[in-house]
A and B are shown apart, each in its own frame.
Chain A
Amino acid sequence: MSAQKYDNYLLESLINGNEVGIKEIYKKVYPKVFTYVRTHDGTEEDAKDVMQKSLLQLSVRAQAKDFVITSSFEGYFFTTCKNVWRREVKIHKSRVTNSTVIDLVHEEREIALAAYEQEKWELFQQKLEEISENCRKILQFFFNKIPYSKIADTLGYATENTVRQRIFKCKSKLKEAIQTDSRYNELKEL
C-alpha cells in the first residue's frame, strides 16, 4: 500500500469504526502518545484515556463529507492527542484552583466540545501560517510570553519599543485575517 492509501485506510477505519484498522492506529501512534503524556505529568492511564478520546473526537469530526487531512494521518492524529492532553491538564488545573468554574458535562458533550475547540485551534493555526514569516515569528515569541527584550535580541530589533510596535501591527493583521474568514463565524457561539 502506498503511504497515501494507507493513511486513507486508517482514516476510513476510524470513520466506520473498523476495529482492525483502529488497532493499526494504536500500533502506530499509541507508543508516542504514551511517551508524550508520561513526560508531561501524566500516567499510563491518562495516556490510554487521551488515546480513546482523540480517536472518538476525530471519528466524529471526520463524519463530515468535506473533512480532509492535508498532512500525514499519523502527524495529524498525534497533534490531536497532544491537544487533548493539554485540554485535560487545563481542566484539571482550573478545577484545583477554582479560577474558573468548569462543570462536569456528559461524556458525549465533552467529546463534542473538545472537537469544536480543536477546530477553532486548527483555524487559528492555519491563519498564523498565512501571515508573513516575519510577523509569525515575532508573534509566536510574544504569545508564548517571551519578554520583549529577549525578542529584540533574538530577532535583531534595535529597541524593545520597536518590538512592541511590530507586535501590535502583526497582531492586528492576524486578527483581521481570522475575523474575515467565514469559518470563524461558523465557529462562533450562538
Chain B
Amino acid sequence: MNNLEKEIETYLNGEMTVEENKIFEKKIELDPTAQKEFKIYKEMYTLYNDADWEISNSATQNDRITTYVTFLKSEKGQSISKNIQKAEDAYFNAFSTKIKKIVLYAGSIAALLVLGLFVFVQLNKDIDAKSLYAEHKNWNDLPSLSLRDGVTSLSEGEILFRKKQYSTALTVFKSYVSQNATQSNPQVLLYIGVTQLELNQNEAAIKSFEKLLGSDTLDASKAYWYLSLTYLKINKVEEAKTQLQILSKNPQNYKYKEAKELLNRLQ
C-alpha cells in the first residue's frame, strides 16, 4: 500500500477534481512503473464488473493473438469455420428432416401415425413460418428518418431503434405521432410497427401496419410486406399468403420479387 495506490483509487473512483485528474494523468504518462500499476487496476475495474467488458485496442500485439490469427487463416482453421456454419444449418433444418423420415415410415403404418404426423406437420409449419420471418426481416431496409426536415425527435428515435432500445424508441415515435396528429408520416408508422414487432407486441404491430395501409401515401403498399412478415411471425400462414399474393400481382410493388419467392416456399 502506498500513495500511488491511493491516488489510483481516487482517480478510478472518479473522486478527483478536473485539475487533480490532469496532474495525475501527466504523472502516469511520465512514469512507466506507475503506468504499469495503473493499468492493472484499471483492468480490474473493468474485468470484475459484470456489466462491462475489456476491449483490447485493435493494434494490440501479443504472441497468442498472432498464433490465433495464423490458425484461423490456415486451411484447418478455415475448414473448422465452414463446418461450424454447416452444423448451424443442419441444426436449424433438423426439424424438417425429422418430418421427412416420419413421412417415409408412415407409409407402412399409416393409420397409426396419421394423428402424430398431423401434430408434427403443424409443429413443422410453426418452425418454418418463424424461420422465414427471421430470414426475411431486415430492418436495414427501413428508410432513414434523420434526413427529413431535421426533425430531431425522429432521428433520436431512429438512433434508439438502431441501438435496439426498442421500448424507448417506441415512446419517442408515438409521442411524435401524437404531436403531429394532423399529418401522418408513413415512415414513422413503419418504424412503430417494426418496433412493436421487436417488442413482441404483434397485435399492435398489425394495427400500425394496417393504419399505414390506409394512409393513402406512396409508402402504403409497403404495409403488405410488413403485414406478411408479422403473420409469419405469429404463424398465421394463410393470412401471410394473402398479403403476399397482393404484392405479387404487380411487378411495381414493393418487394415484388421477394414476395413471389416467399409465396413459392409457403405453397
* A→B interface (CB under 8 Å): 14, 16-20, 22-23, 25-27, 30, 41-45, 48, 51-52, 55-56, 59-61, 63, 83, 86-87, 89-92, 94, 96, 100, 102-103, 105, 108-109, 111-113, 115-117, 119-121, 124-125, 128, 139-140, 143-145, 168-169, 171-172, 174-175, 178-179, 184, 186-190
Q: List 27 A-B contacts (CB under 8 A).
A: A16-B80, A17-B83, A23-B87, A26-B87, A27-B91, A42-B164, A52-B88, A55-B84, A59-B80, A87-B55, A90-B52, A90-B55, A103-B58, A105-B58, A109-B58, A112-B72, A113-B65, A116-B60, A117-B53, A117-B55, A121-B54, A124-B44, A168-B5, A168-B9, A171-B41, A172-B5, A186-B64
**Taking the complex as formed, is B81 at the interface, i.e. its CB lies under 8 A from any CB of chain A?**
yes
Contact of B68 among A18, A52, A60, A96 (CB under 8 A): A60
Let me know if A172 and B1 touch, CB within 8 A: yes
Q: How distant is the Cα of A103 from the Cα of B56 in the complex, in angstroms?
A: 11
A171 to B48, CA, bound (A): 11
From A44, A56, A83, A117, B80 is in contact (CB under 8 Å) with A56
Cβ of A123 to closest chain B Cβ, rounded Å? 9
Is the pair A17, B80 in contact by a Cβ cutoff of 8 Å?
yes
A175 to chain B, nearest CB (A): 6
Q: Are A178 and B40 in contact, with the CB atoms below 8 A?
A: yes
Does B43 contact A120, Cβ atoms closer than 8 Å? Answer: yes
- A-B interface contact total, Cβ < 8 Å: 159
Q: Which of B33-71 contact A (CB under 8 A)?
A: 40-41, 43-45, 47-58, 60-65, 68-69, 71
**Cα separation A44 to B47 with both chains bound (whole Å):** 27
Complex Cα gap A124–B52 (Å): 14
B: which residues have CB within 8 A of A?
1, 5-6, 9, 40-41, 43-45, 47-58, 60-65, 68-69, 71-73, 76-77, 79-88, 90-91, 94, 134, 159, 163-165, 198
B88 touches A26 (CB 8 A): yes
Which residues of chain A come closer than 8 Å to B53, judged between CB atoms? 83, 86-87, 89-90, 117, 121
Chain B residue contacts of A113, Cβ below 8 A:
55-56, 58, 60, 65
Query: Considering residues A27, A102, A112, which has the most beta carbons from chain B within 10 angstroms of its beta carbon?
Result: A112
Q: Find the B residue at minimum CB distance from A115.
A: B68
Q: Is the CB of A108 within 8 A of B47?
A: no
Chain B proximity of A109: nearest CB distance (Å): 6
Given contacts A56-B81, A189-B62, whether A108 and B44 have CB atoms under 8 Å apart is no
The 6 closest A-B pairs by CB, nearest first: A17-B80, A112-B68, A143-B48, A22-B87, A26-B91, A108-B72
A59, B198: Cα distance in complex, Å: 32
Report yes or no: B48 in contact with A139, Cβ–Cβ below 8 A.
yes
Other A-B pairs, 13, CB within 8 Å; known A25-B87, A189-B60: A19-B87, A23-B90, A27-B91, A41-B164, A43-B164, A51-B88, A56-B84, A61-B68, A86-B53, A96-B163, A102-B55, A113-B58, A117-B56
Q: Do the beta carbons of B60 and A174 come within 8 Å of each other?
A: no
Which residue of B6, B68, B86, B159 contacts A116 across the interface (Cβ within 8 Å)?
B68
Tell which of A60, A89, A120 has the most Cβ of chain B within 10 Å.
Answer: A60
Q: Is the CB of B163 within 8 A of A175?
A: no
- Complex Cα distance A90/B61, Å? 21
Q: Indicate whether A111 sits within 8 Å of B52 (C-beta atoms), given known contacts A22-B84, A43-B164, A189-B60.
A: no
Asked if B71 and A63 sit within 8 Å, CB to CB, the answer is yes
Contacts of A190 in B (CB 8 A): 61-63
User: What residues of B have a CB within 8 angstroms of the CB of A43 in the complex?
Assistant: 164, 198
Q: Are B84 and A17 in contact (CB under 8 A)?
A: yes
Residue in contact with A121 in the complex, picked from B47, B84, B90, CB distance below 8 Å? B47
Chain A residues, Cβ within 8 Å of B40: 175, 178-179, 184
Distance in angstroms between the alpha carbons of A121 and B90 in the assembled complex: 32
The contact of B62 among A14, A18, A100, A187, by CB within 8 Å, is: A187
Also in contact, A86 and B52, with CB within 8 A (given A52-B88, A56-B81, A168-B9): yes
